Every structure is written in structure tokens, then in C-alpha cells.
Amino acid sequence: MQIKMIGIDHSKSPLQYREKVAFSTVRNIEFLNILKQEENILGGVVLSTCNRTEIWISYKDKLENEIDSILCKFKNINLYEYKKYFTYREDKEAIEHLFMVSSGLKSKILGEDQIITQVKNAVEISRESDFLNTTLDVLFRNAITASKKIKTQIKFKKGSFSVVDSVIKKLEKLNINVKDKSCLIIGNGEMGRLASEIFIKNGANVTMTLRQHHKGDVVIPVGVNIINFSDRVEVLPKFDIVISTTSTNRYMLKYEDVVKVKLKEKVVFIDLAVPRDIDEKIFSIKGTIGFNIDDFQIEENEINSFNETIERTKEILNEYIDNFYKWYYNKDLITNIFEISQKVADDTILRINKLVDDNTKNIVEKSSKKSIEKLIFCLRDNMKPRDFKNFMNILEKNYLNEDI
């Protein structure tokens, strides 16, 4: 099928390796432009989240350069060192993996909602970069549609999850009640807004940083206070909980800055960013407790409670996977279907040409064409690909290769 995927994720790679391969939106676009220059690569999508970076390509013939070497050169990292953390998938395995990822079945927090938006955003970046070919477009569209259907029709026994929900649960287990606590969120992107909403829902008093030049451009969740991003270190003494969620490549909180301010007696630092936002040396400051993204996941003893839900989820995924396969294996026949339907319509008009007026002829032509298309597409969706190709060969011989 000539679809490839290379990925690095939480199941195989430590955070310090994942963060070196993570992409911001700007770097995503830059990398897609690099891939565009590669001979035989027809399209690409880069999915970069807190827990994974995955690169998908559609190609023809043989690749001159493998994706892992292109990636490592772009990121200025050693291929030999990283190869053991990469996962390589092709064709059927790659396709089915994508559906599992977009539905949340591959997430650290099983069934999380956020992944659907992340997949949609990755596809949109490729589309805007003019690097989303038809095969990847149809593939990702089916995966996203399946995931939306799962979200609306299937409820996981413990509800829908995000990594922030897991943060709340972990704090509860440590007897840290967030109600009435002062919480600082560094970063106003999707993760920052989600963290704000969930902490407010749980009774916290939330303040979010906002860069001066972003004022008026960012939707701020109801009930959230705003401070200037540049004041983030200065205001730390006011807060019980500090959460950082940006997508930059440098620390938002440095040890040498934080150690100079007088923190509260007990402060929780939570770093949900990849690459990391908070210098982990800060976690050693007296009275502080710190976590990064790898500290949050579904409990192992809870997984069995999801078995029935997982099976129902896979049933929906398989339906849309089959839809993609039917489209892919027959995509070269679509033009012929339209040509055959037009030939049948022309044949019909010739037979009634002497009996009706021009207006009726037009109506009959359009109706017969649509009827034949509906019939052929119905057969395509209910036949094995090989049988359908044989069927189309018969029609082509009788309609496209002979004059009426």
C-alpha cells in the first residue's frame, strides 16, 4: 500500500528521548517542507503530543532516504542512539495503529479525549502546507470520524479522561485537595486551557500566564485570572500548585531563578510539557514536590474494567478501517465508474431519443447516471476487492472499450 510510519512514544522511550523528537507547529511545518523535497514522498503528517511523535508518509516506488535518517538529521540527533526507541510500521499495521491512536486506545490515559483534537490539528497543518495527498487525507478522515463516533456512542466506565484528570487523581491519592488552592498555569494553549477548566471544576483558584502580545487573541476560560508571562517567577510565592504546559524548547522555570524566591511551605510543581518546561532540580527545593508527564497514567489494576468497552471500541474502528481498505483498493476504478455510468446514460438516451423532448432527455440522463453509480458503489461496498475488480473489468470491456 506504500504507507509508512515511524514513531517514538511513552511505551518504549523515556521522556528525555521523546522531548528531543517533539515538534512545535513551526518546526512541524519546517519538517514537512523537508519531506516535500524527497523524491517519491507524496504526502506526510507529523503527530506530536506529550506522549508520542509519529511521522506518516504516503510514497511511491522506493524511498531514496528513510524517514528515521531524515528525522535525526533535522533534529541533529544520533540515529544509532535513537533507533532502539523508534517503532517502524508499514501498510496494514501502520493503518490500524493510527485508528488505535486517534481513538485513545494507545494513550497513557486510556480513552482520553484530547488526542482527537491533536490528530485533527496535525492533519490541518499538513493540509495548509499542501502536503496532504488523497491517500493520507482519506485515511486520517476515516480515523477521525471513527474516533468521534466512539466518543459520542461509547462511554468508558470511569468517564472520558485527559492527563489533567489523572493529575487530579494522583493529587487526591497524596491527600492534596485542590479545592481553594491557588494554582498557576504557565501556558495558554490547548493543554493550559484544559488544565484551567479542570482545576476550576475541582474548586481551585486558577491564574494563567499570558504573553503581552497575545492579549485579545486567546480564549481565556471563564473564572481564570491573568498575569503577564514575564512575571511567572516573581508571583510564585502566591501559589500552592504550579503547572507548566508550553511547547517551547527551553525551561520556563529555571532552578537558579526559582531558588531565589520565597515559596510557600508546600508547593506542587507539575510539568505537563514535552520538551520539559521545569528544571527538575526545582523538585529538590525544601517543601516542594514535583511531577512530569510520565508520572501520570491509568492504573494497571483499572485496565481490566475497560475490556468490554475496548472491544466495542474496536468494532467501530474495524468498520472504518474496512471503509478505508475498500476505498484504497478500488480508488483507481472511481474514474471508470463515472465513465461507465455516463455510457449507460448515453445508451439510455439513444434508445428514447425519438420518444421524448430535450428536457425529459436531460432528466432521464441524470437519473440513469446516478442510479448506475449508486448500483456500482453499492456493489463495491459489499464485494471483496478482487471480485469487484473482476466485475469492473467486465463492465469496462463492454462499455469503455466499445462504441455504443
Which residues are designated catalytic? Answer: 50
**C-beta of residue 47 within 8 angstroms of C-beta of residue 53:** yes
Pairing of strands 52-59, 41-48: antiparallel
Length of the chain: 404
Question: What is the C-alpha to C-alpha distance for residues 310 and 333, in angstroms, rounded to an integer?
Answer: 35
Handedness of CA 399, 401, 402, 404 (dihedral sign): positive
Instruction: Write out the H or E segment, with its range, that includes residue 184.
Output: strand 182-186
Preceding peptide of 275 cis, ω within 30°: yes
Identity at 331, one-letter amino acid code = K
- Go through 213-243 and write b for each residue having 16 or more CB atoms within 10 A of its CB, e for each that does not: eeeeeeeebeebeebebeebeebbeebbbbb
CA pair distance 151, 154, nearest whole angstrom? 6
Measured CA to CA, the distance from residue 341 to residue 343 in angstroms comes to 5
- From CA 93, how far away is CA 97, in angstroms rounded? 6
By CB atoms closer than 10 A (0-12, 13-18, 19+), residue 349 is middle
